Structure 1
Amino acid sequence: MTPSEMEARIVRYGDLQPCKTAFIDAHTPGSDQKENFTIIGGGVSESADQHVHITIPHGFNIGAAGQPPKCRNSLHSHRTAEVFFVLKGRWRFFWGRYGDAGEVVLEVGDIINIPTGIFRGFENIGTDYGMIMAVLGGDDAGGGVIWAPQVIEDARDHGLVLGQNGKLYDSKKGESLPDGVSPMPVLNEEELKSYPEMTPAQVVGYGVRRYNDLMSLAGKEPVLVIGEKGVIRDKPGFEVGFLTRGSASTDMHAHDRPSVLMPVRGHWRLIWEGGEAVLNPGDTCSIPADLQHTAVPAMTGEASMYHIVGTDDPAGATWLA
């Protein structure tokens, strides 16, 4: 693979293209300044305006959310795994039918594997623009987003209607539901019973791991963060690993499917059969299947990186199944 071919598979942080109309709460006060990024795979955006940087199937999706202070993402659920790590800022994650069942605050490098089947949201509680990176299970990310009823109702009051076809229609732009397309139905009380109200101990104890703890665990060997034998034991259709300066190796290796490198801190030198490139925090790099490669820190100082690769486990409800 030539350097130019590899560069086409690296999405640089500075080249990310945001969409401000990705979801039904795009006009709702408190959520109307958020930006959605779809980096690898189609994601779950409901807007035709969403730009997809890399369309090659990986068995999972990579995306991101960028938000100014006090901006939140409304309560929603997914049928497949949703994993976040904080790239910039300080974030509050909350969950439950009304978002009051529990919450946790995450800092840079912290990771959360949110259980499938619960309503969740998140808010930038820092003082500057923040960014969280996301991994969603499955190539189609479970077929979309399930919104808490009040989110759909609030959005309608501000001009946005979600069709049963999963597409958004903006009355402020003169749009309306096409003939034959009904509004997305709101979940009724009986259906809402299948969305559990989980305790902080359940969600945090199960799915949250702190950056400093992972730095310690990966002191000499890369650590499997999410996987059947990971520190978070789950099989969401992909594995998440974590490596540091001390656990990086110059030994070349390959995977039988595409994998993804996502630096958190430091600059990393990606080496493969055919060239080299430098990866920086916020960059996302897709490594082709069967390509011999490795990554090592390119400069002195702290260095850390998440690594994602698909598995043969079906992407769907995992530990709640």
Structure 2
Amino acid sequence: MTPTEMEARIVRYGELMPCKTAFIDAHTPGSDQKENFTIIGGGVSESADQHVHIRDTPGFNIGAAGQPPKCRNSLHTHTTAEVFFVLKGRWRFFWGRWGTAGEVTLEEGDIFNIPTGIFRGFENIGTDYGMIMAVLGGDDAGGGVTWAPQVIEDAADHGLVLGENGRLYDTKQGQELPDNVAPMKTLTEDLLERIPEPTSTEVIPQYVARYLDLMGLSRNAPAKVIAEDGILRDKPGFEIDFVSRGSLKGEEIEFQDNVVLMPVRGHWKLEWEGGSATLNPGDTCLLPANFKHLLAPSMTGEASLYRIISNDDPAGPTWTNL
């Protein structure tokens, strides 16, 4: 693989292209400054304006959300896995029918494997623009999102209507639902009553891993974060491990499945037969299966990254105590 071919597999943080109309709450006060990024795969955007950086999927999707302080993402639920790690800022994640069942605050580098089938939302509670990176289960992550009824109702009050085809229509711009497309139905009260309302005590120990803990655990070898036998035991359609400076021993690495590298801190040098590249915090690099490579920090100081590996697991968690 030539350096030019590899560069086509790297999405640089500074080149990310946001969409500000990606979701139904794009006009709702408090949520109208969100930026959605679709990095690998089609993601879950409801807008035709969403830019997709790399369309081929390795068995999962990679995306990101950028928000200024006090901006929030509205309550929704997923049937496929949704994992976030904080790249920049300080974030509060909350869940439940009204967002009051539980919450957790995540700092930079922390990771949250949000349980499927519960309403969840998040907001930037830091003082500057923040960014969280997302891993979504399955090649098609767009079909498993359902909004809380109040989100759909609030959006309609501000001119946005979601069709059953999963597309948004902005009545403020004169758009109307096509004749053959009905509005998205809200969940019935019977269905709403079946959605779990786990507490923070139930969720945090099983689904949250802290950056400082992972730095310690990866001192001599990569820490397996999300896997059937990982720190957060799960089978969401991929595995995630955490790599820091001492994890790798300068040996050539090869995986039989696709791999995505996502640096958190420091600069990492990727070398292979045919070239090399430097990966920086916020960059996303897609490596093909059976790709032999060397990976090591390129500078002194703190260095860490998340490594996402595809596998044959289904695209949703199969382990839970909720």
Shorter-chain TM-score: what band?
A: over 0.9
CA contact (8 A) 2:263 2:281 kept: yes
Partner residue, 1:46: 46
2-structure distance, mates of 1:205, 1:237: 21
Partner residue, 2:111: 111
Aligned ranges 1:91-106 → 2 under 5 Å = 91-106=91-106
CA contact (8 A) 1:79 1:317 kept: no
Partner residue, 2:234: 234
| 1:206 alignment partner AA | Q
- Quick check: 1:80 aligned with 2:75? no
1-structure distance, mates of 2:235, 2:243: 20
Partner residue, 2:71: 71
Provide, for residues 253-294 of structure 1, a one-character-per-residue CA deviation record: whole Å limited to 9, x for no partner.
Answer: 222222100000000001112110000000000011111012
CA contact (8 A) 1:273 1:291 kept: no
Query: 1:180: Cα distance to partner?
Result: 1.1
Aligned ranges 1:149-228 → 2 under 5 Å = 149-228=149-228
- Alignment TM-score, normalising by the size of structure 2: 0.98
Query: 1:18: Cα distance to partner?
Result: 0.1
- Quick check: 1:24 aligned with 2:24? yes
Question: What SS class does the counterpart of residue 193 from structure 1 fall into?
Answer: helix
1-structure distance, mates of 2:142, 2:4: 33
| 2:72 alignment partner AA | R
CA contact (8 A) 1:80 1:142 kept: no
| 2:264 alignment partner AA | V
Report how many residues are paired: 321
Provide, for residues 122-160 of structure 1, a one-character-per-residue CA deviation record: whole Å limited to 9, x for no partner.
Answer: 000000000000000001016141000000000000000
Question: What SS class does the counterpart of residue 155 from structure 1 fall into?
Answer: helix
1-structure distance, mates of 2:65, 2:248: 28
Query: 1:28: Cα distance to partner?
Result: 0.2
| 1:308 alignment partner AA | I
CA contact (8 A) 1:73 1:122 kept: yes
Query: 1:316: Cα distance to partner?
Result: 2.4
Query: 1:53: Cα distance to partner?
Result: 0.4
2-structure distance, mates of 1:179, 1:203: 43
CA contact (8 A) 1:117 1:317 kept: no
| 2:104 alignment partner AA | V
| 1:303 alignment partner AA | A
2-structure distance, mates of 1:187, 1:249: 52
Kindly, what percent of the aligned residue pairs are identical? 72
Partner residue, 1:34: 34
Instruction: Give the gaps of 5 or more residues in structure 2.
Output: none
Query: 1:194: Cα distance to partner?
Result: 2.5
Partner residue, 2:273: 273
Partner residue, 2:285: 285
Query: 1:7: Cα distance to partner?
Result: 0.4
| 1:125 alignment partner AA | I
Question: What SS class does the counterpart of residue 143 from structure 1 fall into?
Answer: coil
Question: What SS class does the counterpart of residue 14 from structure 1 fall into?
Answer: helix
Query: 1:252: Cα distance to partner?
Result: 1.2
| 2:171 alignment partner AA | S
Question: What SS class does the counterpart of residue 75 from structure 1 fall into?
Answer: strand
Q: 1:177 to 1:142 in 2, by over 3 A?
A: closer
Question: What SS class does the counterpart of residue 57 from structure 2 fall into?
Answer: coil
| 1:78 alignment partner AA | H
TM-align CA RMSD: 1.0
1-structure distance, mates of 2:217, 2:316: 28
2-structure distance, mates of 1:20, 1:144: 21
Question: What SS class does the counterpart of residue 5 from structure 1 fall into?
Answer: helix
2-structure distance, mates of 1:249, 1:36: 36
- Quick check: 1:137 aligned with 2:108? no
Question: What SS class does the counterpart of residue 276 from structure 2 fall into?
Answer: strand
Query: 1:118: Cα distance to partner?
Result: 0.3
| 1:96 alignment partner AA | G
Partner residue, 2:309: 309
2-structure distance, mates of 1:123, 1:100: 14
CA contact (8 A) 1:26 1:34 kept: yes
Provide, for residues 192-226 of structure 1, a one-character-per-residue CA deviation record: whole Å limited to 9, x for no partner.
Answer: 12211011011111100110000000000001000
Partner residue, 1:7: 7
Provide, for residues 234-265 of structure 1, a one-character-per-residue CA deviation record: whole Å limited to 9, x for no partner.
Answer: 00000001010011232112222221000000
2-structure distance, mates of 1:272, 1:193: 53
Moved over 6 A (4+): none
2-structure distance, mates of 1:144, 1:198: 20
